[in-house]
């Protein structure tokens, strides 16, 4: 288990680094420690943002200014964080935190116009398209982090047989809701964006809405399960979502 490393990231953010790799066990540890920090409710903490192997702690330096005459606000907070995390860092229980939460159901229409790269993924994996879909929906995924664009979930848990290099020529427009594979991860485009991941399907769900609370459908650390739907169910679900969004409040 890697030791915790804390260092400044600018004048009002500390980065807690637990490793350097995209590793599921490290990511579980990241979310467990992030939950512990949130529960501590330290003064002056503005936001706690977990990533693959690190946690960014954004803080108000004025709250920590003068906590010690010979140290900066960042140094004072870093010392407090080390003391707070040290008792639980070596505990085996952090590996099981969050494993009993119910997964978020994501309906996906695979292949065809909404999944133009499904056949390429199947050829690369030496499978037929039905097997790719079956293996993709069988995965128990967890949101490792949100990034790239607001609401974009990087999901760990993809079957090794479905790992697929990114496209040599990225698309300038990837439709909102596109479910895609990039390397050892799968993800969902929250809005129309450029992108180079392999698109295997699309969900009618809205991943990000700035007017919604919370705006992001998924949060870092959540479990996700995909469910295959046909084109008719996709259209019906999309219409229901559009009607709900346009309904008077």
DSSP per residue over the chain, as a string? -PPPEEEESSSSEEEEE--SS--HHHHHHHHHHHHHHHHHT-TTEEEEEE-SSEEEEEE-HHHHTTSSTTS-HHHHHHHHHHHHHHHHHT-GGGGGTTTTSPPEEEEEEESGGG-TTHHHHHHHHTS-HHHHHHHHHH--EEEEEE-SSTT-EEEE---GGG-BPPPSS-EEEE-TTEEEEEBTEEEE-SSSEEE-SEEEEE--S-SB-TTSSSSBSS-TT-EEEEEEE-HHHHHHHHHHHHHHHHS--
pLDDT of residue 98: 47
pLDDT of residue 25: 86
Provide the domain count of the chain: 2
Verify that 115 and 157 share a domain, yes or no: yes
In the listed set 36, 67, 96, which residue is the last one of a domain according to the structure?
A: 96
Verify that 110 and 83 share a domain, yes or no: no
Verify that 68 and 119 share a domain, yes or no: no
CATH at residue 43? 3.30.1360.40
pLDDT at 130 over 80: yes
pLDDT of residue 96: 43
pLDDT of residue 69: 66
pLDDT at 91 over 70: no
Q: Per-residue pLDDT averaged across 183-193, rounded?
A: 96
Verify that 131 and 235 share a domain, yes or no: yes
């Amino acid at each position: 288990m890697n030791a915790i490393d804390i260092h400044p990231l600018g004048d009002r953010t500390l980065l807690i680094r637990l490793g350097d790799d995209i590793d599921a066990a490290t990511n579980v540890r990241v979310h467990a420690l992030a939950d512990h920090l949130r529960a501590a409710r330290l003064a002056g903490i503005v936001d706690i943002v977990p990533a693959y192997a690190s946690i960014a702690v954004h803080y108000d330096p004025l709250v920590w200014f003068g906590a010690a005459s010979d140290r900066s606000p960042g140094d004072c907070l870093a010392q407090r964080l080390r003391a707070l995390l040290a008792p639980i860092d070596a505990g085996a229980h952090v590996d099981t935190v969050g494993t009993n939460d119910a997964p978020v159901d994501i309906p996906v229409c695979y292949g065809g116009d909404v999944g133009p790269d499904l056949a390429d993924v199947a050829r690369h994996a030496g499978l037929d398209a039905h097997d790719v879909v079956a293996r993709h929906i069988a995965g128990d995924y967890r949101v490792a982090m949100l990034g790239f664009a607001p609401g974009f979930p990087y999901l760990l848990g993809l079957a090794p047989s479905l790992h697929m290099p990114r496209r040599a020529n990225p698309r300038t427009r990837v439709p909102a809701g596109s479910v895609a594979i990039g390397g050892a991860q799968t993800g969902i485009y929250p809005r129309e964006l450029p992108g180079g991941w392999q698109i295997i399907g699309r969900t009618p769900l809205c991943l990000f809405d700035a007017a919604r609370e919370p705006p992001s459908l998924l949060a870092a650390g959540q479990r996700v399960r995909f469910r295959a739907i046909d084109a008719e169910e996709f259209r019906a679900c999309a219409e229901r979502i559009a009607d709900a969004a346009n309904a008077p409040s």
